[in-house]
């Protein structure tokens, strides 16, 4: 895929995203990558970059040992690289790490996001790369068709293989050949980064915010469909604890349910609902806290230097380190995956309870009275949800404790596995959107079965019910194949109209 001419023309007049190495956020990155917004370096970045490069040049001219500058890398770190062979060594290092295996490739916007992260990291001047290389990266972000890059090849200690493929593409540009790129250390700086993992995770986290809103929407509609007891989300209940996430989610639910008849005395069917209803704000609240924390971690990592070694401007040396370790990122996503899986689990309980006569008071599966036909049971929505929730639980298994084995003569004996955690998270998010959409379908079906007037519902739910109810084949089950895709699309398109958690 390539950026179309129309898109490039449209975004050519957009204000550039300024890369200063300290303020890039997930939201900015995703918007810039998906919409092909231009980027530019901060005014003072060039000076920092040139100062860092001068340290590398001094190390080369002095012959002092500098990891990846005058020596090989990994298990070859004890071998010297001759001054006259440094460009050839760096060129071959990129190609040698670019091994292709076939299979999935990164979406073009994700390659572009990885380049934005790379330029942002380089803008601090701690990598020691040359100004011409950084300017080349920025120019390619702003004007070039992105290359095909494999979506595999990282264990969470720098995205070596996909970043090497990007490096090889950059170093093959005519401008690179004319400017003597790559020079000493430049290939190592291009590949020794978690840019692909960060780009993928940023996409996932922005989508996760939308799924969080959808989860709260599905819960609010379940409370309406079940005629639930709203005491569980009341302000008085939330004043009795110090759970910030629960308070935020409960406020969100109260906004959606503002004006609902359920707030009236005696409107709730039960004094106390099943735990999947009654504890939902606590569970969603814990998820909300983890999501906020994961975005904070990601925003900080977007502005961190993982390139090894870094340049010390003060004593004009380089310092070896392990900043490329991604354990912190993995822990953030591992916890988030488990919290989302818990939310999916109770969503499944709620959508089944609504179809269960003993709990809901409605016909089992909303079927037609005294008939084998009709209802959501007849349409297998419960089976679809159960299957999706099973997959979600499988994808929730933690990645951080996976063993990496012994790589590179035992030098690389641990890894963070962040991209593995993020990849499972992306799979989960697609399934979560479907699960919460099914719960919404079931809830609106229950609302219709109870013959509740739309104006009796929470004001934040009325338009959604009015749009989705006509799409449901109530009374027409089995006359033609029902697809939930149209409803999923409706919910995706109205996401901006759903009030966000406070």
CATH value at residue 131? 1.10.275.10
Q: How far apart are CA 67 and CA 189, in angstroms?
A: 12
238, 152: one domain? no
256, 110: one domain? no
CATH of the domain at 395: 1.20.200.10
Q: How far apart are CA 423 and CA 196, in angstroms?
A: 11
Mean pLDDT of 207-235: 97
Confidence bin at 1 (pLDDT 50/70/90)? very low
- For residue 319, tell me if it sits in a domain: no
248, 136: one domain? no
Q: How far apart are CA 402 and CA 398, in angstroms?
A: 8
Confidence bin at 409 (pLDDT 50/70/90)? confident
Q: How far apart are CA 52 and CA 128, in angstroms?
A: 4
Using a pLDDT cut of 90, give the percent of the chain over it: 84
Q: Does 12 have pLDDT greater than 60? A: no
86, 220: one domain? no
Q: How far apart are CA 196 and CA 359, in angstroms?
A: 47
- For residue 32, tell me if it sits in a domain: yes
Q: What one-character-per-residue DSSP string does 380-401 give?
A: THHHHHHHHHHHHHHHTS--TT
88, 206: one domain? no
Looking at 193, 224, 241, which one is the last position of a domain?
193
119, 173: one domain? yes
Domains contained in the chain, number: 2
Domain that holds residue 106: 5-193
215, 186: one domain? no
Q: Does 9 have pLDDT greater than 60? A: no
Q: How far apart are CA 323 and CA 36, in angstroms?
A: 29
CA 223 to chain centre: 29
For residue 7, the model assigns a pLDDT of 37
For residue 242, the model assigns a pLDDT of 86
Dump pLDDT digits (tens) for 70-103: 898 877 888 889 989 999 999 999 999 999 988 8
Looking at 165, 193, 221, which one is the last position of a domain?
193
For residue 56, the model assigns a pLDDT of 96
- For residue 288, tell me if it sits in a domain: yes
Instruction: Look up the pTM and report it.
Output: 0.94
120, 268: one domain? no
252, 126: one domain? no
- Do residues 141 and 184 lie in contact, with contact meaning Cβ atoms separated by under 8 Å? no
The torsion region of residue 388 among left (phi > 0), alpha (psi -120 to 50) and beta comes to alpha
Q: Does 499 have pLDDT greater than 80? A: no
170, 275: one domain? no
Mean pLDDT of 253-279: 96
For residue 72, the model assigns a pLDDT of 81
111, 257: one domain? no
349, 369: one domain? yes
């Amino acid at each position: 895929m390539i950026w179309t001419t129309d898109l490039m023309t449209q975004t050519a007049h957009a204000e550039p995203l300024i890369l200063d190495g300290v303020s890039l956020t997930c939201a900015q990155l995703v918007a810039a990558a998906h919409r092909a917004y231009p980027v530019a370096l901060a005014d003072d970045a060039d000076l920092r970059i040139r100062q860092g490069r001068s340290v590398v040049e001094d190390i080369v001219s002095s012959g002092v040992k500098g990891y990846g500058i005058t020596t090989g890398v990994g298990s070859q770190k004890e071998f010297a690289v001759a001054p006259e062979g440094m460009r050839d060594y760096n060129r071959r290092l990129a190609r040698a790490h670019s091994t292709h295996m076939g299979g999935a490739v990164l979406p073009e916007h994700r390659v572009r996001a990885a380049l934005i992260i790379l330029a942002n990291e380089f803008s601090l001047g701690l990598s020691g790369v040359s100004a011409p290389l950084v300017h080349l990266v920025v120019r390619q972000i702003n004007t070039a068709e992105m290359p095909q890059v494999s979506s595999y090849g990282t264990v969470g200690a720098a995205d070596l293989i996909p970043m090497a493929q990007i490096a090889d593409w950059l170093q093959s540009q005519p401008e690179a050949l004319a400017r003597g790129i790559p020079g000493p250390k430049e290939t190592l700086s291009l590949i020794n980064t978690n840019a692909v993992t960060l780009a993928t995770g940023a996409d996932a986290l922005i989508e996760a915010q939308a799924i969080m809103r959808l989860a709260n929407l599905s819960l609010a509609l379940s409370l309406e469909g079940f005629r639930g007891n709203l005491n569980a989300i009341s302000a008085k209940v939330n004043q009795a604890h110090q759970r910030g996430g629960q308070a935020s989610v409960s406020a969100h639910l109260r906004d959606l349910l503002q004006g609902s008849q359920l707030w009236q005395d005696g409107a709730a069917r039960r004094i106390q609902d099943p735990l999947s209803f009654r504890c939902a704000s606590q569970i969603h609240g814990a998820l909300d806290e983890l999501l906020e924390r994961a975005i904070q971690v990601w925003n900080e990592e977007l502005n961190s230097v993982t390139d090894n070694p870094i340049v010390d401007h003060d004593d004009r040396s380089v310092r070896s380190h392990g900043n490329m370790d991604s354990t912190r990122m993995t822990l953030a996503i591992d916890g988030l995956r488990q919290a989302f899986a818990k939310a999916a689990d109770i969503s499944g309980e709620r959508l089944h309870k609504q179809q269960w006569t003993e709990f809901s008071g409605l016909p089992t599966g909303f079927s037609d009275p005294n008939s084998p036909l009709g209802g959501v049971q007849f349409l297998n929505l419960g089976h679809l949800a159960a299957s999706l929730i099973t997959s979600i639980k499988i994808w929730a298994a933690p990645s951080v404790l996976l063993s990496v084995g012994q790589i590179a003569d035992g030098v690389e004996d641990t890894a963070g596995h962040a991209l593995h955690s993020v990849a499972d998270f992306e799979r989960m998010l697609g399934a979560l959107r479907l699960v919460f959409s099914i719960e919404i379908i079931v809830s609106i079906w229950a609302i219709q079965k109870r013959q509740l007037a739309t104006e009796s519902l929470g004001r934040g739910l009325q338009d959604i019910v009015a749009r989705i109810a006509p799409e449901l084949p109530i009374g027409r089950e089995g006359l033609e194949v029902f697809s939930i895709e149209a409803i999923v699309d409706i919910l995706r398109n109205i996401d901006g109209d759903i009030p966000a958690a406070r």
